[in-house]
Amino acid sequence: GPLADCWFLGALGAVVALRGVASLLGPTRYMRSGAYVFRFFKGGEERLVAVDGRLPCSSDRLPVFARGAGDAGALWAPLAEKAYAKLHGSYANLRDGAEADALAD
């Protein structure tokens, strides 16, 4: 895709296939405020990253970056991608990474 972060999306898909979407989520108490909280690990330390539900969208109102082919209404992939971009400073910092790094995070 336009972001060149297929390495992250591949790792994300593998984690979800093995452990389910719930394994990505942080404490649900934050969700009451409208935030989505994702759990990552950097340098072996748990990092909780909160994001709002606003996503960059195209003119046809579809997420510009990650989106599920089979379930167009599923937001977990673009929200997880947004949280991972926040963890790394920006969407641009996700360009051309390594799947092994994403699996470690």
H/E/C letters for each residue in 46-70? EEEEEECCCCCECCCCCECCCCCCC
26-75 pLDDT tens trace? 766 566 677 888 888 888 899 999 999 888 887 887 777 776 655 555 77
pLDDT at 22: 74
Does the structure show a pLDDT above 90 at 86?
yes
Determine if the pTM surpasses 0.75. yes
pLDDT at 16: 82
pLDDT at 69: 58
Question: Which residues are designated catalytic?
Answer: 6
